[in-house]
Amino acid sequence: MAEVKLFGVWDSPFSKRVELALKLKGVKYEYIEEDLKNKSPLLLNYNPVHKKVPVLLHNGKPISESLIILEYIDDTWQQGPPILPKDPYLRSKARFWAKFVDDKCIPAMWKACWQKGEEGEKAMEEANDALEFLENEIKGKRFFGGDDSIGLVDIAADVIACRNGIIAELMGVQFLRKDKFPNLCKWADEYCNCSFVKENQPPNQKLIHHYKALIQASTSSKSTK
Amino acid sequence: MADGVVLLDTYFSMFGMRARLALAEKGIEYEYKEENLGDKSPILLEMNPVHKKIPVLIHNGKPVCESLIIVQYIDEVWKDNNSPSLLPSDPYQKAQARFWADFVDKKVYDAGRRLWTTKGDELETAKKDFIEALKLLEAELGKKPYFGGENFGFVDVALVTYSSWFYAYETCGNFSVAEHCPKLMEWVKRCMEKESVSKSLADPKKVYDFVLFLRKKHGLE
């Protein structure tokens, strides 16, 4: 039995975080793709509370919630670069910004993509406000984790960096605009060019096909109302 | 700014209570500043420009925000001062503690809030959700004296502060936590025997009066 298993979904930004952290640390693992419309008994057993991915299984013991899993990985595997800094104050800042990405950035960005009209516009405003805070936080730094190291916040914000292009192209929503967020754009370029990031993204064509299908389904469900 | 510890907080906040409780557990002296959320102080706005919320712990002039992040910070900075750690040292146990504290914020807070801000069917749903969340926590507690095991720990800090709001929730929702979760109420009583807890939590009757005030203010009464 493999020591480390990851239950994930290929296009989930939250699963992706865990994969990136494991790759960063050089941890070998078995990946198990879940079908969220037909969740496996194993997933339901390992995450009975939320029934969600990702779930990391280490020596038979499950850990859920992506940011908690990232800290677990950092606490457990000493090899490879640290995901969190050692200093308690810097750790608190990393946790703060990772939580900010989850609570403020991603929900607003998701709504701005998928909700049209007034609600979509309001969400876009919220997304821009949130990104403005991130813009100020990254100023003067190469990565959120520091000049040399990708850290918790960079990995948490992976979806913001790596899907910006596809979302702009297919959905006409451009989040990381150079005129508005020059520092974030620079960070996204640097981050996406890191080899372990590049090598661990979902295949581009598969992602495009998937988004096109989602857009189609969303449009046709609106027109059948 | 002087070295030392300052806490920006409000008496009724179950989030602020967590910070107070963690500081009390560690025996840390600090300056408490009560904020008026209707008229936020310049220092609050400067120290938490992103959320403009309490609690904010200011240590040596540097702010730490978000209650569970503050509690972890306190645990990490004052880890060798003869008080037990709030978080376990074992990575798996630590992850479990973080998971359940996160669960409290995701499930208990939302349902609790709906208990005093809604009525009719919405209120009934809130009651169901609230009790369900507490039951899961009660199951997680099991036969242990505390969520942290033999010692009061991170999840205990995260959840016990909500108990100061139970009377308000019960009265608004017309139900009894003890009836549905007797073991959890025993745990609350056990926690309240600790001086750090009893001095950090708001008085439940005062919380209820505060909730009534908020309800009137928002036209819910």
Q: What is the DSSP letter of B165?
A: G
Residues of CATH 1.20.1050.10 domain(s) within chain A?
A: 88-208
Q: What is the DSSP letter of B193?
A: T
Q: What is the 3-state secondary structure (H, E, C) of B175-216?
A: CCHHHHCHHHHHHHHHHHCCHHHHHHCCCHHHHHHHHHHHHH
Read off the pTM: 0.96
B50 chain-A contacts, CB cut-off 8 A? 100, 133
B99 chain-A contacts, CB cut-off 8 A? 63-65, 68
- CATH T-level fold of B5-78: Glutaredoxin (3.40.30)
Of B28, B141, B154, B139, nearest to B88 (Cα)?
B154
> Which token pair is A76?
């457990």
Phi and psi at B64, nearest 5°, equal -125, 130
C-alpha A109/C-alpha A202 separation (Å) is 20
Phi and psi at B63, nearest 5°, equal -85, 145
Binary contact (A63, B95; C-beta < 8 A): yes
Residues of CATH 3.40.30.10 domain(s) within chain A?
A: 4-76
Nearest CA in chain B to A59: B92
Cβ pair B103, B135 in contact under 8 A: no
Q: Tell me how close the Cα of A158 comes to any Cα of chain B, in angstroms.
A: 21
> How large is the average pLDDT for residues B102-112?
96
Q: Which of A109-118, B58-67, B82-91 has the highest mean pLDDT?
A: B58-67
Domain A4-76 homologous superfamily, CATH: Glutaredoxin (3.40.30.10)
In this structure, of A43-47, A204-208, B168-172, B181-185, the range with the lowest mean pLDDT score is A204-208
List, as one string, the DSSP characters of chain B: --SSEEEEE-TT-HHHHHHHHHHHHHT---EEEE--TTS--HHHHHH-TTT--S-EEEETTEEEESHHHHHHHHHHHTTTSSS--SS-SSHHHHHHHHHHHHHIIIIIHHHHHHHHH--HHHHHHHHHHHHHHHHHHHHHHTT-SBTTBTS--HHHHHHHGGGGGHHHHHHHHT--HHHH-HHHHHHHHHHHTSHHHHHHSPPHHHHHHHHHHHHHHTT--
Q: Is the pLDDT of residue A81 over 70?
A: yes
Model pLDDT, residue A223 = 60
- Beta-ladder partners of A143: A146
Q: Between the CA atoms of A179, A182, A185 and A187, what dihedral angle is there, to the nearest 10 degrees? A: 180
In single-letter form, the type of residue at position A45 comes to N
Model pLDDT, residue B1 = 36
Nearest CA in chain A to B58: A89
Q: Is the pLDDT of residue B216 over 90?
A: yes
Interface test with A, best of B52, B65, B134 (most A CBs within 10 A): B65
Q: Is B136 on the interface with A (CB under 8 A)?
A: yes
Model pLDDT, residue B2 = 39
Q: What is the DSSP letter of A143?
A: B
Q: Tell me how close the Cα of B70 comes to any Cα of chain A, in angstroms.
A: 7
A218: confidence class by pLDDT, cuts 50, 70, 90: confident
Model pLDDT, residue B19 = 98
For B91-218, CATH gives: 1.20.1050.10
Mean pLDDT of chain A: 94
B76 chain-A contacts, CB cut-off 8 A? 88, 91
> How large is the average pLDDT for residues A88-111?
97
Model pLDDT, residue A224 = 53
CATH 3.10.450.50 fits A88-208, yes or no: no
Residue range B17-26, pLDDT digits in tens = 999 999 999 9
